[in-house]
Amino acid sequence: MSSDISGQTIIVVGGAGYIGSHVCKALQASGAVPVTFDNLSSGHEHAVKYGPLIKVDLRDKAAILTSCGDYKDASAVVHLASSIEVGLGETDPAGFYNNNVIGAFHLLEAMRETGLNNLIFSSTCATYGDTDQMPLMEDQTQKPFSVYGKTKLAIEHMIQSYHKAYDLKYLTLRYFNAAGADESGEIGEEHDPETHLIPIALAAAAGLRAKMKLFGTDYDTPDGTCIRDYIHVNDIAQAHILGLSKFGQGLKAAEVNIGSGEGISNLEILKLIADVTGSSVPYDAAPRRNGDLTRLYADPGLAKELLGFTAQYSDPKTIIASAWNFHKRVWGL
């Protein structure tokens, strides 16, 4: 398919990961060439199918500079590589700041030295913190609760400073809960260890794990469980395609929520999983998980206005069915 970005080379840092592989597939479908930079610490070589793979670690400043130099004619950099497990961040802040913040600093410096000047950065709704003001708008105060959210906010600030001082053009996308898988079933969510609700609940429904833990049943929500906004990974990928085309149309700097705009509770997700798989999800009520916020869902208005983005595949049942399709293949069911 030809598009505004057809023929462009795009560096995708973290292209071997869950969201990164879907972004690379969407880039290839748009006629662009995705070049994956990844250290394969959590990403998978088998998920890099849509363009070349450069093995490089963001913590290695000299190596990232060399790699950016090799691709200095790329039109943009998409930065998705980071440590993401909220619980782990609470016990290993050093690892999170090193990988996320220092890594992003090395990338920004390498971009500055090599003249790469357009950046899409994956941020998160976890940068907002606990608030009753839902849906979340982009100008909401950012007071992240988790170490993970704090590292992402630190990077947002660094990028804003580079824009002001060095004229870096950027689009920060604050994702809500990425979920689902490409309809081909060839790529999907494969974290190790897996900490996310939908793949864990699917494994429990499939009988591949005994009982899952439902973290927190005493939240101030209608059924006592947390509320999240699930956005299909292919919708997220599409937001990147739209964002990249905006650089050619004069985009300079923006922070934009990428969510469906709909909140759904953890228990409602478990019910939908039972509908889709035909098996109920065995679970035990467990204490709240450190770092978790009560409710998070997006106001998707700015994404529509600025990028022309609306979620297409993010009905929760569609998301779960696509994830189930992928996991059935991976699990040999």
The single residue of 148, 162, 170, 219 carrying the catalytic annotation is 148
Q: Which of the ranges 3-11, 22-30, 192-200, 312-320 carries the binding residues for ligand UDP, by CB under 6 A?
A: 192-200
How many residues sit in the footprint of ligand UDP (CB under 6 A)?
15
Comparison of 75 and 266: residue with beta carbon closer to ligand UDP:
266
- CA 138 from chain centre, in angstroms, equals 17
Residue 228 binds ligand UDP (CB under 6 A): yes
How far apart are the C-alpha atoms of 283 and 171, rounded to whole Å?
39
CB of 68 to ligand UDP, least distance (A): 29
Q: Which is nearer to ligand UDP, 139 or 284 (CB)?
A: 284
Of the pair 161, 280, the CB lying nearest ligand UDP is at 280
Under the binding rule (CB under 6 A), the answer on residue 273 touching ligand UDP is no
What angle is formed at CA 268 by the lines to CA 17 and CA 326, rounded to 5 degrees?
A: 35
CB 144 within 8 A of CB 129: yes
Residue 297 identity (one-letter amino acid): Y
Place of tokens 């939240």: 219
Work out whether 226 is an interface residue with ligand UDP (CB under 6 A): yes
In whole angstroms, the minimum distance from the beta carbon of 76 to ligand UDP comes to 26
Q: Where are the alpha helices (DSSP H) in the chain?
A: 18-29, 61-70, 86-91, 93-96, 103-114, 147-166, 197-205, 233-247, 266-277, 301-302, 316-330
CB of 303 to ligand UDP, least distance (A): 19
From the CB of residue 210, how many other CB atoms can be counted at a distance below 10 Å?
8
C-beta of 193 vs 332, nearer to ligand UDP:
193
Applying CB under 6 A, among 196, 209, 271, 329 the residue interacting with ligand UDP is 196
* H helix intervals, 120-193: 147-166
Tell me which residue of 245, 285, 319 sits closest to 78, measured CA to CA: 245
The reply to whether 71 belongs to the active site is no
- Which residues, numbered 275-314, are part of the site for ligand UDP (CB under 6 A)? 289, 292
Q: Is 258 in the site for ligand UDP (CB under 6 A)?
A: no
Candidates 213, 248, 275, 308: give the one binding ligand UDP (CB under 6 A). 213
Eight-class DSSP state of 278: S
Q: Is 270 in the site for ligand UDP (CB under 6 A)?
A: no
For ligand UDP, which is the closer residue by CB, 77 or 200?
200
Can you tell me which of 33, 104, 200, 321 binds ligand UDP, judged by CB under 6 A? 200
Residue 197 engages ligand UDP in binding (rule: CB under 6 A)? yes
Residue 9 to residue 118: CA distance in whole angstroms = 12
Q: Which is nearer to ligand UDP, 85 or 255 (CB)?
A: 85
Q: Give the number of residues written for the chain.
A: 333
Q: Are 174 and 256 in contact (CB under 8 A)?
A: yes
**1 and 30 Cβ atoms separated by less than 8 Å:** yes
Cα(95)–Cα(83) distance, integer angstroms: 8
User: C-beta of 228: minimal distance to ligand UDP in Å?
Assistant: 5
Write out the residues near ligand UDP by the rule CB under 6 A. 86, 177, 195-197, 200, 212-215, 226, 228, 266, 289, 292
Catalytic residue ranges: 148
